[in-house]
Structure 1
Amino acid sequence: MAYQYILFYKPYNVLSQFSEGKTPPASTTELRLTLKDFVPVADVYPVGRLDRDSEGLMLLTDHGRVQHRLSDPRFAHPRTYWVQVEQVPSAAALAQLRQGVTIKGYRTRPCQVKQLATAPELPPRDPPIRFRQSIPTAWLEMTLQEGKNRQVRRMTAAVGHPTLRLVRMAIAHLQLGTLQPGQWRSATADERQGLLQI
């Protein structure tokens, strides 16, 4: 039986699971979207998670070995994010992120961080981020080899730059590419080959 590998662009406000779980909606009118509202493929499971308020690339698969190797921090597979933060970070703040910061008693691993010269071309978020004319924002590209709960957000907050928008662009060799929010596709032959070598 051939394994399935699905690349999915998770929109904002969607849970990274196929069931709603035990947490009830905040109100009876609140809609709780999950992966099942977008991906009609049976027996695949997400590799890692994206928070409800984060967007971007997710890999769904039924291949347990690939799921384990991409999820276990011992294998140090990179994940790349575009992160919109409040204010423009100083060189010192960027250096601090690269070296690792302490969040909740845990020291993050060193990572790659650079400030993007211009805002990336991304689909608009619904709802849009709050805009305050008096507070500038900047976009960072961050590549981590670990994925603790809300790690990117906690890292940028630790250096004084709260995250406003977070979009995962890549997982290992897999790229978000031309997918739009809510769209999914099967991995290409080359992408599948790369996953089998992980």
Structure 2
Amino acid sequence: MSSIYLLHKPYLTLSQFTDAAAPDGAPRATLAKLITIPGIYPAGRLDYDSEGLLLLTDDGALAARITHPKHKQPKTYWVQVEGIPAASALESLRKGVMLNDGPTLPAKARMIAPPSIPERVPPIRSRTEIPTRWLELTIVEGRNRQVRRMTAHVGHPTLRLIRVAIGGWRLDGLAPGQWRRETLHAPVGAVPRRPPGRRR
């Protein structure tokens, strides 16, 4: 039986407990101020300027199964982009786009209504002459800043990025900085999948 901790990582927070490389000596926010459970560490990472679901555990086998590319855990993001993507842009994301480190695997991409979420602090840059839209994007890779590069490739820079799911784990009910513990009643290393037909 293993425990896993679901944390809503806030904007401008490192997905680690220490900041050994603070620029110019300026300290950056870390996980140490959010969760103080001894012996746990992140299973994967989330960029400093991204928000949302981060998984932590003290189970090395479970962490390896979550993060290893061969398991292709789907990761779902809500992405606020600049401009209004055309159907062709969404189709390009679904088929995969060519980035400077090679083509991406096919993704799930769709336009969604603005989600009911807290305002970011500080807020995104806003230009009245340029509209924004929200996308839901699901990928099975984990390249550096991949989602941001994908949306930029199709002409719609990312303004805000929130990870809402990793495999069967979801951010539901957690405000920025909050966390909850879940116990896995399955063999160590098993990763839950969303039951067929379950919807949010």
- TM over 0.5, yes or no? yes
Give me the whole-angstrom Cα distance separating, in 2, the residues matched to 1:4 and 1:141. Answer: 28
Task: Report the alpha carbon displacement of residue 24 of structure 1 after superposing the two structures with TM.
Answer: 2.4
Give runs of aligned pairs for residues 92-131 of structure 1, distance below 5 A. 92-116=88-112, 118-131=113-126
Give me the whole-angstrom Cα distance separating, in 1, the residues matched to 2:180 and 2:129. Answer: 40
Corresponding residue for 2:147?
152
Corresponding residue for 1:135?
130
The 3-state SS of whatever aligns with 2:147 is helix
Superposition TM-score, scaled by structure 2 size: 0.90
Give runs of aligned pairs for residues 1-198 of structure 1, distance below 5 A. 3-21=2-20, 23-26=21-24, 30-116=26-112, 118-187=113-182, 189=183, 192-193=184-185, 196-198=189-191
Whether the 8 Å contact between 1:97 and 1:113 is mirrored in structure 2 is yes
Count, aligned residues: 190
Task: Report the alpha carbon displacement of residue 25 of structure 1 after superposing the two structures with TM.
Answer: 2.8
The 3-state SS of whatever aligns with 2:135 is strand
What is the percent sequence identity of the aligned residues? 48
Which ranges of structure 2 fall in alignment gaps of 5 or more residues? Answer: 192-200
The 3-state SS of whatever aligns with 2:23 is coil
Deviations 1:141-170 (A, max 9, x none): 011111111000000001110000000000
Q: Which amino acid aligns with 2:97?
A: V
Give me the whole-angstrom Cα distance separating, in 2, the residues matched to 1:124 and 1:68. Answer: 33
Pairwise CA RMSD of aligned residues? 1.5
Whether the 8 Å contact between 1:83 and 1:167 is mirrored in structure 2 is yes
Whether the 8 Å contact between 2:65 and 2:190 is mirrored in structure 1 is no
Whether the 8 Å contact between 2:65 and 2:71 is mirrored in structure 1 is yes
Superposition TM-score, scaled by structure 1 size: 0.91
Which ranges of structure 1 fall in alignment gaps of 5 or more residues? Answer: none
